[in-house]
Amino acid sequence: MRVHNRSIIVGLLAAAMLTACEDRKLPYLGEPQTVVKTVEGKTIEETDYPSIPAFSFTNQDNKIVSEQDFKDKIYVADFFFTTCPTICPVMKKNMLKVYDEVKDNPTVRILSHTIDPEHDTPAVLKTYANDLGVSNATWQFVTGDREKIYNIGQRHYLITAAEDAKSPGGFLHSGHFVLLDKDRHIRGMYDGTTDEGTYELIRDIRTLLKEYE
């Protein structure tokens, strides 16, 4: 009975999250800078929020994926590794819910970075994607230079990504899903290990899409 009641509560919470506050504007995350510009002869100050820099990784189809592939798209990013024995299976189960929500929307993408590039080759990522049932370009799984992956994760996506012999599987990483707008600004971070965090992300994807209507 307790399990049944919990399922009802989670379902009601999900429905509430997906419908609540649809008219609100999502915040920008990260430390902003003040930029001085000259517009039509007048000096003005603007707030400039950090954005994800240019990048280049290799996806599950052994093709180069760069920031240009995400031009004019919002996307969700996360970090994982295919042999992860702890939170990754839960995260991917939850990301499948996001994928099912956005897979037919050409303006939304998902970008999953492996933090174990030595093991997670494009061929390994392809098998992993197939096992999840990912069948189109909406969800990209990428590998590449280890230091570049760790650098972009920790310095720009604001998550933890590191090799750690004391952690299960040998790696330490955050369980967050990161939502980015079309200018690659971070607009939300969500606990990818929970139903609540996942449904909040789906709601905020809908909210963010409304900004571009």
Can you give 13-74 as a three-state secondary structure string? HHHHHHHCCCCCCCCCCCCCEEEEEEECCEEEEEEECCECCCCEEEECCCCEEEHHHHCCCE
**Separation of alpha carbons 201 and 108, rounded Å:** 13
Q: How high is the pLDDT of residue 10?
A: 46
Please give the radius of gyration of the chain, using alpha carbons only, rounded to the nearest integer: 18
**Separation of alpha carbons 171 and 191, rounded Å:** 18
pLDDT digits (tens, 9 = 90+) for 88-145: 999 999 999 999 999 999 999 999 999 999 999 999 999 999 999 998 999 999 999 9
Q: How high is the pLDDT of residue 5?
A: 46
Q: How high is the pLDDT of residue 23?
A: 65
Eight-state DSSP code of residue 172 = E
Q: How high is the pLDDT of residue 9?
A: 43
Q: What is the pLDDT along the chain (213 residues), one digit of tens a residue?
A: 444 444 444 454 454 445 444 567 999 998 888 877 787 888 888 888 899 999 999 999 999 999 999 999 999 999 999 999 999 999 999 999 999 999 999 999 999 999 999 999 999 999 999 999 998 999 999 999 999 999 999 999 999 987 878 887 888 888 999 999 999 999 999 999 999 999 999 999 999 999 999
Count of alpha carbons within 13 Å of 95, Cβ hemisphere only? Answer: 30
